[in-house]
Structure 1
């Protein structure tokens, strides 16, 4: 059984310039059910999280400013979305979707969050459409709840997981691995435990060889208790915000490599979807749906 976090608020309406990327949060569940990759009962609606879990990662002053909508205007502009109570609630539910997903993954091997991958959120600030770092919150939750010795975060969004790197820079229990575009945002990178910065126009062959080389070594050396996988599809050559040249088939193969290693090594994995900004919504849905199709084939 593969459990999938989804809440109607994920498709929170935004001003005209921001609406297009949000459509996928409504269409992707519909596509998965329509084609039979998922059943309606596979989805769960995350409630609001216990704030103590959020505050284990994010500074109280920052969280209070979000909840009270008193964030400094300059800090709010860095987030990129107009700040509202509905947007903050959306981020809290996304975070709890990942938290609850960790429990499902411990039971069933894998879980998904239709949204999430908000890896640009730092301990004390948000940026680039990220308010709260869902996978960082999930990782800290597991450390505090189960006393795991090592967690591996595999961030394969085209943008470096700068917020995640900052959050865990002094935490030896979490290993951050980011493969991203060298010249992509953020232009001032943080330092992950392992950063692989790829040149513009990197194609399937070089991209996949990179994953095939590094991931097995990391799993072998770290022996992680749990893996978080950020499965961004903005590595596609069609992506408006990415500069790599991967194909849909290459992106699917990447998912097969990551999830096969999780399954083979019996390491529970939580998957958040991350970015995807191709101009054709069909491309976005197809690439995201492939991740679920791959998981269904491997974990069934």
Structure 2
């Protein structure tokens, strides 16, 4: 199956997920906690139902694939392709009726974040589809996007901190001079950064999971942005639901330079680049 055929499949699948979730959220029984996922977080019934729908379709179309998901963990043969799934990123928002949550699916050629070659993020409230294929750019509903779009008059950051009394919080608020938000769906925030609506998305708690950012990090990079760790190194991590990390995503390196003194991020080179390899996804 080619990359375009796979994109078509994931477009269709995530649209089905959106319609299914809309119905599930109307029923109180799907708001119950039904256990803990592989990542250690609580699993709500609607999370589980959506994941099962995605797994059923992917394992039918790709019987030899390995699936890495927030709830079920790792299943499959152990070889490529690797599907990295966050069925409902922003479950707390979905549970409370806050319209900001998404379905995130990435496809990787390896068990590393750097191996992600294709990504889709479906906004599950508006229906917007963001996607990227390594080396071919990033798109919103089929229209190419760039981090250079939608520049505002002031900085606009989404930052997740341990607490407002943390060292980062004390340093960040008075010094950066930015509007600071945390919307509750890292995947969707990264997608919005890719189209230039948010300047920086950072999770500094050391608890973000690769499944949260696998799709979003590729979309950001293909739109011209950058994703680094707190040392200023290009972000890479094992695609493991139990892995935890901190990261900073930005529209361009000069936004990182604004942060480096505040957050202790090392200076970056003048030109930070990433390499991508165009691949075909076999059945």
Under TM normalisation by the shorter chain, which class is it?
Answer: under 0.3
TM-score by length of 1: 0.26
TM-score by length of 2: 0.27
Higher strand share: 2
